[in-house]
């Protein structure tokens, strides 16, 4: 088995992803989609579920220990304000770019023209969304232990920041606690590396199931939409993150994407930015040289509020709907679509297909009827997973790009490590 470990992890994960697609399609074609899906769900899917459970197991302890250790590493609580403002500003700018690119590709490809909705079963959708006040209040946990148990990321971030500031403020008396969190974060990161050795098998199982259950036939009806979404996401990753890494930061772009291969592959296979978070933090620290003070704060926040792929996707879906049902859009409609898509994407849960149910809020900006919204969601939902995988990969890439930028601006980036070959 030594030959297996001599292959870099990202190469094993990438090979598993490609092999999973091929296996799923071949099995679906030879056994029939229903039989292939049932067999894979019985014998292969549990391996993928096991992998997801393992990395989800690490989310809370990794955020908690790494963020507290990161705040302690800063030494000065005042640096949190600078880091926070730069992080939010960078996330906002990349989301604006995502909106513009999404609307551009939706206009160029016109994926909604000539779509046949015959036989589509409308889905139940809701336009209800929590108010900004409610969201802000939810950040402050009434019970930190309950927040940790429930995996409430924003509440965990808030409590971890306060705890880290408190440890710094008490000075010498807080040193034993500081040492504990520093050691704990190292231990959890080491466990993350162990779990990542399961990634090739988990990715293979998850992608095989997705490829078999979706099948080529199911994708043909909305092939133009899928192509528009994928090309838009790729363009956003190359243009937006490329400008940020190569031009603004003057760092090698290929090295950035090489270092992010593992998180991108895991994000693509799981379609969950939250589940990918432990892998993203490990890759940012080990491959990109982002230090604890930034990786532990910027990346968990990004997994919660930075959804570039979702914002881009919602923009394209809005144009898809308008084209399919003949809604005439003005320039102000485009502006409102972009603004609303950016806002609601912040509230998108880091789980598969969560963003699709936010579409109704975006479509309300140009008066789409509830009946048309239900038809669109019902039409897309069966194959949304294929597009969700790609936009999750872009979300995770965006988190790492912003973390790298903020780390460099704050003097918390090890550029020698960034330029070195990937270690995982």
pLDDT the model gives residue 405: 97
Q: For residues 208 and 212, what is the distance between their CA atoms, to the nearest angstrom?
A: 6
DSSP 6-47: HS-HHHHHHHHHHHHHHHHHHHHHHH-HHHHHHHHHHHTHHH
Domains (range + CATH), the chain:
2-419 (1.10.3860.10)
Tokens of 399: 């988190």
Q: Which residue in 404, 62, 91 sits closest to 257, CA to CA?
A: 404
Note the pTM of the prediction, 2 decimals.
Answer: 0.88
Task: Tell me if 265 sits within 8 A of 14, measured CB to CB.
Answer: yes
pLDDT the model gives residue 126: 58
Instruction: Give the CA distances from residue 224 to residues 117, 230, 340, 372, in Å, rounded to whole numbers and listed in that order.
Output: 15, 10, 24, 20
Tens place of pLDDT for every residue, the chain, 424 residues? 678 878 888 889 889 999 999 999 999 989 988 999 999 999 999 999 999 999 889 989 988 998 898 888 877 777 788 888 999 999 999 999 999 999 999 999 999 998 888 777 787 665 555 566 776 788 899 999 999 999 888 888 899 989 999 999 998 999 999 999 999 999 998 999 899 999 999 999 999 998 888 777 667 768 899 999 999 999 999 999 999 999 999 999 999 999 999 999 999 998 888 889 999 999 999 999 999 889 988 999 888 888 899 999 999 999 999 999 999 999 999 999 999 888 878 756 555 556 666 788 899 899 999 899 888 988 888 888 889 899 999 999 999 999 999 999 999 999 999 988 766 5
- Give SS3 for 411: coil
Task: Tell me if 73 sits within 8 A of 401, measured CB to CB.
Answer: no
Q: For residues 398 and 259, what is the distance between their CA atoms, to the nearest angstrom?
A: 13
Task: Tell me if 385 sits within 8 A of 37, measured CB to CB.
Answer: no
pLDDT the model gives residue 355: 66
Q: Which residue has the tokens 């363009």?
A: 235
- 65's CB contacts (< 8 A; 6+ apart) are 181, 184, 185, 187, 188
pLDDT the model gives residue 424: 58
pLDDT the model gives residue 173: 92
Task: Tell me if 418 sits within 8 A of 289, measured CB to CB.
Answer: yes
Q: Which residue in 54, 36, 20, 352 sits closest to 203, CA to CA?
A: 20
pLDDT the model gives residue 136: 72
Q: How many CA atoms lie within 13 A of 260 on its CB side?
A: 26
Instruction: Give the CA distances from residue 418 to residues 257, 345, 413, in Å, rounded to whole numbers and listed in that order.
Output: 11, 30, 8
């Amino acid at each position: 088995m030594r030959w297996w470990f001599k292959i870099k992890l990202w190469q094993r994960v990438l090979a598993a992803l490609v092999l999973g697609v091929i296996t799923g399609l071949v099995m679906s074609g030879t056994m029939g989609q229903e039989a292939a899906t049932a067999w894979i769900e019985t014998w292969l899917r549990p391996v993928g579920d096991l992998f997801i459970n393992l990395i989800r197991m690490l989310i809370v302890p990794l955020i908690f220990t790494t963020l507290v250790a990161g705040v302690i590493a800063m030494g000065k609580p005042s640096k949190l304000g600078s880091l926070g403002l730069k992080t939010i500003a960078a996330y906002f700018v990349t989301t604006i770019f995502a909106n513009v690119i999404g609307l551009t590709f939706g206009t160029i490809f016109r994926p909604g023209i000539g779509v046949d909705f015959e036989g589509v079963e409308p889905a139940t959708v809701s336009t209800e969304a929590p108010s900004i006040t409610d969201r802000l209040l939810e950040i402050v946990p009434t019970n930190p232990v309950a927040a940790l148990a429930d995996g409430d990321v924003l509440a965990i971030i808030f409590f971890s920041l306060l705890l880290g500031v408190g440890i710094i403020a008490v000075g010498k008396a807080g040193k034993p606690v500081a040492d504990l969190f520093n050691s704990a974060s190292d231990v959890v990161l080491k466990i993350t590396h162990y779990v990542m050795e399961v990634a090739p098998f988990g990715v293979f199982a998850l992608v095989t199931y997705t490829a078999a259950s979706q099948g080529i036939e199911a994708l043909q009806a909305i092939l133009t939409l899928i192509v528009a979404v994928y090309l838009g996401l790729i363009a956003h990753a190359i243009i937006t993150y490329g400008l940020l890494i190569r031009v603004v930061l003057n760092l090698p772009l290929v090295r950035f994407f090489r270092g992010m291969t593992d998180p991108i592959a895991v994000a693509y296979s799981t379609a969950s930015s939250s589940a990918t978070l432990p892998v993203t933090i490990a890759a940012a620290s080990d491959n990109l040289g982002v230090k604890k003070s930034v990786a532990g704060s910027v990346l968990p926040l990004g997994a919660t509020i930075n959804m570039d792929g979702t914002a881009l996707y919602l923009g394209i879906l809005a144009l898809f709907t308008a084209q399919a049902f003949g809604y005439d859009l003005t320039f102000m409609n485009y502006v409102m679509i972009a603004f609303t898509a950016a806002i609601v994407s912040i509230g998108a849960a880091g789980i598969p297909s969560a963003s699709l149910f936010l579409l109704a809020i975006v479509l309300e900006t140009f008066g789409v009827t509830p009946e048309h919204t239900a038809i669109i969601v019902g039409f897309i939902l069966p194959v949304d997973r294929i597009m969700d995988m790609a936009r999750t990969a872009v979300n995770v890439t965006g988190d790492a790009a912003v973390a790298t930028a903020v780390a460099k601006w704050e003097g918390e980036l090890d550029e020698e490590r960034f330029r070195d070959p990937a270690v995982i």
